Structure 1
Amino acid sequence: MPGQIKGILFDKDGTLLDYDASWAPVNRQLALMAADGDAVLAEQLLSACGMDPESGYVVPDSLLAAGNAREIAEGLAQAGSPFPVEHLTVELDTIFANAAALSVPVTDLLALFTRLKACGLKLGIASSDNERSIRAIVSRFGLEGHVDYVAGYDTGFGCKPEPGMVHGFCDATGLAPHEVAVVGDNNHDLMMGRNAGAGLAVAVLTGTGSRLTLEAGSDYCLNDITELERILA
């Protein structure tokens, strides 16, 4: 029940950040890099990883919607990139870290996090992105004094939908899993919460998921993270 929640573990992209505004240009950049500048191949790579090259639509739960850098690199290599997976992974991590400077927040993150902390909540961010990228976002929006925990796919707690990132948050904050709400825009976020025994799995519609794809696996399906305060009140 909402009343037992003492901590919130947020996904980053599509949850704290508007996915389309933040990631559409980044996806095109990474595809062109992986195609070694070949525009035709870049479009093929985008399609293979879940993005329509013309409309920019990203398929929910696809590699570009939910994968980490290594998983996306593997998909790019399988789809025809001339580069090996290890090279692609390093390049993707760099592109993703640099993209933090251009990311578009869903709302005033500092104001929201300040209000949530004032309620006594512990706050964390768990992303399929690398830890460096998450910390860049934390720094850019002035959240250093408000975030109790950060975990990326390379932090050491495993990858979504495994439960490790939630358990790491619990270890860092002293909370039990049933006291944690996991908030995300993809089913791998919700499944991570379920697998860890989280008290709530909350979906938001600011990413690649829709009510059709997210309602069944969530306790709440919200328009965006600003509605969290209402359900936790």
Structure 2
Amino acid sequence: MTRPPIKAVIFDKDGTLFDFRQSWGAWTRALLAELGGDSAHLAAVLGFDPKACDFAPDSPVIALTTAEIAAILHPHLTGLTLAELIARMDHQATQAPMIPAVDLPAVLGGLAAQGLTLGLATNDTEAPARRHLTDAGVIDLFAFVSGSDSGWGGKPAPGQLLAFATQLGLEPAQIAMVGDSLHDLESGRRAGMARVAVLTGIATQADLAPHADVVLADIGGLAAWIAAQSQA
């Protein structure tokens, strides 16, 4: 069945707009330093290699919500409530040195100039997400910004994506979901959206291709792909 023209795009944030290893490797190092204790053990719990500043493919940091990551980490800590841990994680997230995967003002500005409405759906919480978009100089390009604490749940559930479609008055099939993880693509599938995978996260082409309509090196190739769909 032929898809209708794509009129909007909803992006994942980490690993999609921002390079995952460079950005969240720094966050994880800072969080482990702040928490103290057996940092080697905590790093192993998070599937993180501090020396290489890299993540195991099944690291909970890659795709889970802040609350879910905290729930995994909390049993290995003492003297800190779960709520306090989440607050510390959120604070570190706002301070994380986010490294754009591409020239975001140019690429996202080009998509907006193409007439596409842009949204964000992240398993990070909303306040750090808005801070990261603001620091990158692109917050004004987004008509919708949702975190895991914004009221629509986290991915792979489709709540954030469907809220974006409802806000715009579009059918989900008129929207492309762009992400770097299987959680992103599964949320797009459940929502009934086109699914675009990018390779600026941890997952590989082989991981993502069976679950995506297309796999791109990064979001810089998105405008051409969307334009090609309208001509198909």
> TM-score, normalised to structure 1's length?
0.91
**Residues 2 and 208 of structure 1: is their aligned pair in 2 closer, same or farther, counting only changes over 3 Å?**
farther
Number of the residue aligned with 1:145: 140
Number of the residue aligned with 1:89: 86
Q: Write out per-residue CA displacement over residues 177-197 of structure 1, whole angstroms, 9 at most, x where no aligned residue.
A: 011111111110000101111
Q: Write out per-residue CA displacement over residues 66-90 of structure 1, whole angstroms, 9 at most, x where no aligned residue.
A: 1121111111123x12233221111
- Aligned partner of 1:25: which letter? A
Take 2:12 and 2:139, find their aligned partners in 1: how far apart are those partners?
A: 16
Report the secondary structure of 2:197's partner residue. strand
Post-superposition offset of 1:60:
2.8
Report the secondary structure of 1:5's partner residue. coil
Take 1:187 and 1:61, find their aligned partners in 2: how far apart are those partners?
A: 11
Q: Write out per-residue CA displacement over residues 1-55 of structure 1, whole angstroms, 9 at most, x where no aligned residue.
A: 6762111100111100011111112111112333xx23xx112111112212332
Q: Does 1:103 align with 2:98?
A: yes
Preserved CA contact (<8 Å) 1:47 1:53:
no
Post-superposition offset of 1:56:
2.6
Q: Does 1:77 align with 2:74?
A: yes
Number of the residue aligned with 2:125: 130
Report the secondary structure of 1:15's partner residue. coil
Q: Does 1:189 align with 2:155?
A: no
Q: Does 1:228 align with 2:225?
A: no
- Aligned partner of 1:70: which letter? A
Preserved CA contact (<8 Å) 1:60 1:186:
no
Post-superposition offset of 1:141:
2.4
Return 5+ residue gaps in structure 1 as ranges.
none
The within-5 A match list for 1:28-177 is 28-34=29-35, 37-38=36-37, 41-78=38-75, 80-82=76-78, 83-99=80-96, 102-177=97-172
Return 5+ residue gaps in structure 2 as ranges.
228-232
Take 1:201 and 1:88, find their aligned partners in 2: how far apart are those partners?
A: 33
The within-5 A match list for 1:7-26 is 7-26=8-27
- Aligned partner of 2:8: which letter? G
Take 2:19 and 2:50, find their aligned partners in 1: how far apart are those partners?
A: 19
Post-superposition offset of 1:157:
0.8
Report the secondary structure of 1:4's partner residue. coil
- Aligned partner of 1:212: which letter? A
Take 2:207 and 2:168, find their aligned partners in 1: how far apart are those partners?
A: 31
Report the secondary structure of 2:54's partner residue. coil
Report the secondary structure of 2:48's partner residue. coil
Report the secondary structure of 1:183's partner residue. strand
